Chains A and B, each alone.
Chain A
Amino acid sequence: MAMALFSPTFSFRISTSAPQRRRRRCFVQSSQATVAIEAPSSSTTDLLLQVKDLSAVIAESKQTILKGVNLTVRHGEVHAVMGKNGSGKSTFAKVLAGHPDYEVTGGSIMYKGLDLLEMEPEERAIAGLFMSFQSPVEIPGVSNIDFLNMAYNARRRKLGLPELGPIEFYGYVAPKLELVNMKTDFLNRNVNEGFSGGEKKRNEILQLAVLGAEFAILDEIDSGLDVDALQDVAKAVNGVLTSKNSVLMITHYLRLLEFIKPTYIHIMENGRIVKTGDISLAETLEREGYKAIS
């Protein structure tokens, strides 16, 4: 599949020629030039995720939330997205994960050379895209260990690797619990049922540690966490980071960024990324608010 190369100053792109069953519309249109700080060598082998001009609406009401988001993430990078409430940060994360509440109306998302918009949510997950939810849902009647086992085996099956039975899986999972500072009885509890906010977030990170991911999207992983829990979570995230995988964090506060050091920080406003910088951007934001940025 031919990849389109573009430099920051051009304003059109070449569409891919391979005929494909399109389940979602994928426009080819001219885009505005975005101001982005990118590494000087934009070689495509480094690219993990490339979002171009993504626009999306709420499926039911057709209200537009994303109005042309552009983002490039390379292997080993940590990106943070900040912005006012309602700017579209969570929506962006959910669209990347394939949430049925949203409909993509324009733009493209390339992930490891694959057209993400052509993939079902479970296919995206198996391809290494992990999203940690802002408010994880409770699933009474399904225990944590069964859920993790199902997800793990789904991945193994896809990769043609042998699946693990419950006992072997327990052996694999138990050590990972230390990463998130949770006890083994946690595995027998039902998924997120009766969990405190902090426990739910730590459960998300446990799933990340067990399933592995090449690209982890953490949607407000710090909300509802006390200082200790935050440190545990940050340590766990740092523990799974390697030079091969990347993280996209959505957050409001500088606090998280002090533990997980970002390569780039993006400010989202009104459905698009309007500014990109490094950690100093976050510091300005903390001191002076969003007015200082826009």
Chain B
Amino acid sequence: MSLSALNSYLPKPCAPPRPGGRPTRTKVFAQPPTLAILSDPHVLRLAETLEDSIAASSSSPPPPLQKLRDISSQSLLTTPWPSRKDEPFRFTDTSFIRNSEVHPVTLAPTQNLDVLSGLADSISPNIAIIDGYLVESLSNLSELPDGVFVGRLSDLNSKGLMEKVSKYVSNFQGDLFWSLNGVGAPDVVLVYVPEGCKVEKPLGLRFVSMNRSYKGSKSLPISNPRVLVLVEKGGDIGIVEEYVGGDGDDRCYWTNSVMEVVVGDGAKVSHSYIQTQSLGAAHVKWTSVSQGSKSVYELTEVSTGGKLSRHNVHVKQEGPDTVTELSSFHLSIGDQLQDLHSKLVLDHPRGFSRQLHKVIVAHSLGQAVFDGNVQVNRDAQQTDAGQLSRSLLLEPRATVNVKPNLQIIADDVKCSHGAAISDLEEDQLFYFEARGIDRSTARKALIFSFAAEVIEHFPDVTLQKKVENLIRTLLTPALPSGV
């Protein structure tokens, strides 16, 4: 096929972006044909739609945000939609999103928001992010210590802080979905904790999707929430990220979320993440963490919603003596795919990490994927890294694909990994029976206790109880009969 023939199929080229720092709206995607050959037209179309919707709604964005958009759109030029031939998506079928008519959400500020006033029951301080937009009227930030900033990047007045943020924005290159978020995020929600500051109460971030389409319609509204958590040296904060919107319905929407966490030297971030979105929704999330020396990052995750739920975790060690604890529990009770791809990159000595991943697939169409990568590079001597993945398959034809992988180059390390996929253990069931407890009660107790091991990691006890009740409710009707 000649270049000129190709040319006729592609968007017409227009003038290249004007030089100078003025944040004018430029159409980055109508590029010279040579670059466009490497692009995926579907991706480009989607990116253009996102770009248009952002430009329509906001005024001039702050420099870090503009930088983010530029870098992301640049990378989208050469990033195709992932296929099953790409290793990171080998077991994850994204055709559900690919084949829908994805359209961005613009926030209608007053529509139906009173419905959400029930959010006030959640922990405080908290902020509400509706369809990717921070909504102050539903947030409660009264109890934060001095110096802590929680709000939109566009509302940030401090120049010094803005400069700091600029440094961190898009240091990291994720995948297509990361870049789509970079182009489509209306703003960045910044959570800033100054040096030595300990935030006593955990900060709640509630993500709600109001724009939803009905099952069967091909349309899929997309929202791109983006959060940056910047914790300075010695800071300490707990974050509770909740994605709600289940209500037992199966409305469709796509939440394409990114959270970047920068943990300064000696700082501690305890991150709780709960996803209970609708069973017809697509949930794609990136959590990119960078840890300074002697810092502590603890992630406890429970994911039960979404038709397609994919969580990418990337933790990069920037200094020695770090502590990283990742605990996750995924539950598939219907025709759902729960996917966790995690990557821990260690380049400094004496890092300590533990990862526990548990999955229950309780439906014959249910699927789960786990890819746990740990890279212990040459300078990461005396690393102590452990990883354990346990999956419980409760129905015939339930599927789980597990790929624990450790890449170890340093030679003075202690690393372990284990994966087990099974039904409940017969010995444990018999122990219950031998004490007079009948088999089906024993099964219920053991299945619940399988999940409880991860739920116990939540730092906040009320949160633990809430999640325990949720899991109990989800598991009860889902239990297979005739055991």
- Which residues of chain A have a CB within 8 Å of any CB of chain B? 97-100, 120-122, 125-126, 131, 133, 136-137, 139-142, 146-147, 150-151, 154-155, 158, 190-191, 207, 211
Please state if A155 and B431 are interface contacts (CB–CB under 8 Å): no
CB contact list, B419-461 vs A, under 8 A: 425-428, 430-439, 441, 445-446, 448-453, 456
**Known interface pairs A121-B433, A150-B445; 8 further A-B residue pairs with C-beta atoms within 8 A, sorted by A's residue number:** A100-B426, A122-B435, A122-B438, A131-B434, A137-B427, A137-B428, A150-B437, A191-B431
A287 to B449, CA, bound (A): 49
Which residues of chain A are within 8 angstroms of B448 by Cβ–Cβ distance?
Answer: 141
Query: Could you say which of A121, A155, A190 contacts B430, with CB atoms under 8 Å apart?
Result: A121
Question: Min CB distance, B453 to chain A, in Å?
Answer: 5
A139 to B433, CA, bound (A): 13
Residue of A nearest to B454 (CB): A141
A121 to B439, CA, bound (A): 10
Give 10 CB contacts A-B under 8 Å: A98-B433, A121-B430, A137-B427, A139-B428, A139-B431, A141-B448, A150-B432, A150-B435, A150-B437, A154-B438
Residue of B nearest to A132 (CB): B434
A97 to B436, CA, bound (A): 11
Please state if B435 and A125 are interface contacts (CB–CB under 8 Å): yes
Which residues of chain B are within 8 angstroms of A191 by Cβ–Cβ distance?
Answer: 431
Which residues of chain A are within 8 angstroms of B434 by Cβ–Cβ distance?
Answer: 97-98, 121-122, 125, 131, 133
Interface size for B (C-beta < 8 A) is 24
Give the one of B431, B434, B438 with max A CB within 10 A. Answer: B434
Please state if A99 and B430 are interface contacts (CB–CB under 8 Å): yes
Please state if B450 and A122 are interface contacts (CB–CB under 8 Å): no
Query: Could you say which of B425, B426, B427, B436 contacts A154, with CB atoms under 8 Å apart?
Result: B436
Query: Could you say which of B431, B441, B446 contacts A136, with CB atoms under 8 Å apart?
Result: B431
Please state if A211 and B433 are interface contacts (CB–CB under 8 Å): no
Which residues of chain A are within 8 angstroms of B441 by Cβ–Cβ distance?
Answer: 150, 154
A137 to B434, CA, bound (A): 12
Please state if A142 and B430 are interface contacts (CB–CB under 8 Å): no
A139 to B432, CA, bound (A): 10
Question: Min CB distance, A204 to chain B, in Å?
Answer: 10
Please state if B439 and A122 are interface contacts (CB–CB under 8 Å): yes
Please state if A122 and B431 are interface contacts (CB–CB under 8 Å): no
Which residues of chain B are within 8 angstroms of A121 by Cβ–Cβ distance?
Answer: 430, 433-434
Please state if A139 and B449 are interface contacts (CB–CB under 8 Å): yes
Query: Could you say which of A98, A146, A158, A207 contacts B435, with CB atoms under 8 Å apart?
Result: A207
Please state if B431 and A133 are interface contacts (CB–CB under 8 Å): yes
A140 to B451, CA, bound (A): 10
Please state if B449 and A140 are interface contacts (CB–CB under 8 Å): yes
Which residues of chain B are within 8 angstroms of A100 by Cβ–Cβ distance?
Answer: 426, 430
Query: A-B pairs with the 6 shortest C-beta distances?
Result: A141-B449, A125-B436, A121-B433, A151-B435, A141-B452, A137-B427
Please state if B453 and A211 are interface contacts (CB–CB under 8 Å): no
